[in-house]
Amino acid sequence: MTCPQDSQALYEQNDPLDRRLQARRLGQIANVQCVVLLLIGLQTVLAQSWLNTVLVLLALILVLVGQQLNRRGATAAAIVLVLVSLTGLVTVSLWFSQGLYSGVLLAYPAILIVAGMVASLRLFIGLLLSMLASVAGMTYASLSGLLVFEPWPIGVGRMINVSCILVMCAMAVWLLANDLRRTLLRLQQEIVRVKDSQASFTHLARHDALTNLPNRLLISDRMEQAIGQARRYKKRVALLFLDLDNFKTINDSLGHAAGDELLKEVALRLQGVMRDTDTVSRQGGDEFLMALADVDDPATISAMTTQVQAELARPFALKGMQIVTSISIGIALFPEDGDDFDTLLKHADMAMYQAKSAGRNGFCFFDAQMNADTRERLSLELDLRQALVRGEFVLHYQPIVDIHNGRLLAAEALVRWQHPVLGMIAPDRFIRVAEQSGLIVEIGEWVLNEACRQMMLWQAAGLPRFVVSVNLSAVQFRRGNLEALIGSALSRFGLNPSCLELELTESILLQDSAAFIDMLYRLKTLGVKLSIDDFGTGYSNLAYLQRFRVDKLKIDQSFVRTLLGNTQDQAIVTAIIQMAKSLNLLTTAEGIEDDSIRRLLAELGCDQGQGYLFARPLPAQEFMAFAQRTQLPA
């Protein structure tokens, strides 16, 4: 077991700074000792006190040896040698001289002072005990009559001895006090540095490093304080959730450094429009928060929000360019929308996304319906994940027929969700959630494989060959592995590629990148067919029809259902059909529910029809029965 003294001595031995300090102090004291010993030695020679002269000479030699050891790095050995030998020599001088009457006795405290500065605790205690033992021994010898100590008359010699010892003590005490003063000064400086560092750390912990705005932790505290005041005085508090529109585009095009500069400028402008009682904070990324305390009514909040938008609508100067951006803001109020920061933050976030959905560059107050919609969306997303695992999706197939004679030409595969609680759910209720969550990729892969599998089962059952049509999402295209998935499905079920048609929306075609066009060409190389769904509702463009090499246009049902009573829709449908024919494309009219509309479409030159007039989307077995029945007469 190691005692604390040993641990302290070990620390001092291993600490380079402490060793250097010991060596320097030992050298300084040794120099003083040499001078003192020379003076004392000279006095003993003049006084013809040869014993003391020999002792002083030995002491001087030992001090010089100690200096040499110290210079060679053996500081600990030098300390032991010098202190122990000096103590021994002083003791011998006392025993054979005047004993406790001698002025040499003052050397004991001088040695102890030096030991306290440079020696270990163990050596210090050893020296003290040896000195006490010597004093006790000389006292006993004097009292018992073993030795007789007689004081010498006070003279110049004693004055020199005592003065030299006092000088050495004074030197040692001054060095010790100086060390203490320097240590105290360094300690005070370190305390100041630690306090500054602590203040800096506290600031960094509660502020954003980039903009120096309060962070979420600090604005949370201030919001809770504002809520407490508002609760007491029946006031309102507003929390604004601000998100820059199209910040990613600016960041990607001009670089992250320019993006950071933009965020700093936005922070400065937000600070410029807020009141003394308000707080603006950076939430992270391009998101900011504003806490408006002591507000009376929504009209005041709307006016302040409009002022914020106007301030941020002014151009920003970045890299020699004038950059214009906008901001979408969601607003939640205390007490109407929540009574704590976290609840208000969640609701303001929902309102901000509602503002973005409404077209960006606007603001929106939270209402309870948003919360209900969000809860429903989250619940649907969770159930969707389980639906994939539990196999709750089914495909229904809607026939696509020759509009002239009713002959079956194709079937569009439409996914349905057989929810264990809500029953059969149509795709318009869950597809958007699936796209936002990314689950559309897994669902789309399942639909593709299931449609190909069912198609082979029908062909094996003797149905004539026709085409199965599968809808694709833009998210599936962005994943980049669509070609491999389609090729794998065709190969796995042995389906002829000409029996598979992929339906694309016009929004997908707007990507118009080299990689996207290359993907379409590779899909065509597989041998599958491509069609554009809901044609006419998006960005209809003759150029991309030629560039993307599609096979069919599907005329949206919104034009078909009003075809008889709306001359404008009839003109649009006629133009689509004629354009398709000029490009050698087939046309399919969706949503046909009336035979008179079917006949008109046939007269206009439409090739195929789809709608309730022919059949609703049917489960696989019912579709097979439909295909085997008598077909629609011409």
Q: Which two tokens stand for residue 86?
A: 């000096």
Q: What are phi and psi of 275, to 5 degrees?
A: -85, 170
Evaluate if residue 25 carries a pLDDT over 80. no
Evaluate if residue 14 carries a pLDDT over 70. no
Least confident residue range of 31-40, 193-202, 596-605:
31-40
Per-domain residue ranges of the chain: 4-184, 216-366, 380-554+621-628
How many whole angstroms separate alpha carbon 210 and alpha carbon 283? 12
C-alpha separations of 572 from 100, 371, 582 in Å? 128, 41, 15
Q: What are phi and psi of 10, to 5 degrees?
A: -65, -40
Evaluate if residue 464 carries a pLDDT over 80. yes
- The predicted pLDDT at position 510 comes to 64
Q: Which two tokens stand for residue 555?
A: 């005329």
Torsion sign, CA atoms 528, 533, 535, 540: negative
- The predicted pLDDT at position 8 comes to 46
Q: 221 or 162: whose pLDDT is higher?
A: 221
Q: Which two tokens stand for residue 157?
A: 């010699």
Torsion sign, CA atoms 352, 357, 362, 366: negative
Least confident residue range of 80-89, 116-125, 150-159:
150-159
Q: 172 or 190: whose pLDDT is higher?
A: 190
Average pLDDT over residues 303-324: 86
Residues 6+ away with beta carbon under 8 Å from 424? 416, 417, 418
* Residue 257 identity: A
Q: Which long-range contacts (CB under 8 A, 24 or more apart) does 253-259 make?
A: 254/318, 254/319, 254/321, 254/323, 258/318, 258/319
Q: Are 55 and 89 in contact (CB under 8 A)?
A: yes
Evaluate if residue 186 carries a pLDDT over 60. yes
3-state secondary structure at position 279: strand
C-alpha separations of 522 from 480, 494, 498, 557 in Å? 12, 19, 14, 30
- The predicted pLDDT at position 498 comes to 94
Exposure pattern of 29-48 as b/e (b: 16+ CB <10 Å)?
bbebbeebbebbbebbeebe
Instruction: Categorize the per-residue pLDDT at 466 as very low, low, confident or very high, splitting at 50, 70 and 90.
Output: very high
Instruction: Give the model confidence (pLDDT) of 540-568 as tens digits.
Output: 556 667 777 789 999 989 889 888 888 89
Least confident residue range of 235-239, 365-369, 499-503:
365-369
Same fold, 216-366 and 380-554+621-628: no
Q: Nearest CA to 125 among 117, 138, 136, 116?
A: 116
Q: Are 588 and 598 in contact (CB under 8 A)?
A: no
Q: Which two tokens stand for residue 183?
A: 């240590």
Q: 590 or 19: whose pLDDT is higher?
A: 590
Q: What is the CA radius of gyration of the chain?
A: 48
Evaluate if residue 104 carries a pLDDT over 90. no
Instruction: Give the model confidence (pLDDT) of 388-445 as tens digits.
Output: 889 999 999 999 999 999 899 999 999 999 988 888 988 888 888 888 788 889 999 9
Q: Are 318 and 261 in contact (CB under 8 A)?
A: yes
How many whole angstroms separate alpha carbon 344 and alpha carbon 224? 11
- CATH for the 216-366 domain, from 3.10.110.10, 3.30.70.270, 3.40.1800.10, 3.40.80.10: 3.30.70.270
Q: Strands 423-425 and 467-471, how do they pair?
A: unpaired
Average pLDDT for the chain:
82
- The predicted pLDDT at position 474 comes to 81
Share of the chain residues as helix, strand and coil, in percent rounded to the nearest 5? 60, 15, 20
Q: Which two tokens stand for residue 628?
A: 């085997």
Instruction: Categorize the per-residue pLDDT at 37 as very low, low, confident or very high, splitting at 50, 70 and 90.
Output: low
Q: Which two tokens stand for residue 614?
A: 């022919």
How many whole angstroms separate alpha carbon 407 and alpha carbon 401? 5
Q: Are 335 and 347 in contact (CB under 8 A)?
A: no
Average pLDDT over residues 47-55: 71
The hierarchical CATH code for the domain 380-554+621-628 is: 3.20.20.450
Q: What are phi and psi of 136, to 5 degrees?
A: -65, -40
Q: Strands 393-402 and 279-284, how do they pair?
A: unpaired
Evaluate if residue 281 carries a pLDDT over 70. yes
Q: 535 or 48: whose pLDDT is higher?
A: 535
**Region for 398 from its dihedrals, namely left if φ exceeds 0, alpha if ψ lies in -120 to 50, beta otherwise:** beta
Full 3-state SS string of 198-216: HHHHHHHHHECCCCCCECH
Least confident residue range of 256-270, 291-305, 317-331, 532-546:
532-546
Evaluate if residue 182 carries a pLDDT over 50. yes
Instruction: Give the model confidence (pLDDT) of 114-130 as tens digits.
Output: 777 777 888 888 888 98
How many whole angstroms separate alpha carbon 79 and alpha carbon 120? 9
Average pLDDT over residues 300-324: 86
Residues 6+ away with beta carbon under 8 Å from 23? 70, 73, 75
How many whole angstroms separate alpha carbon 531 and alpha carbon 324? 39
Q: 84 or 375: whose pLDDT is higher?
A: 84
Q: Which two tokens stand for residue 524?
A: 């065509």
Q: If you search the block for the tokens 């003993």, which residue do you land on?
A: 44
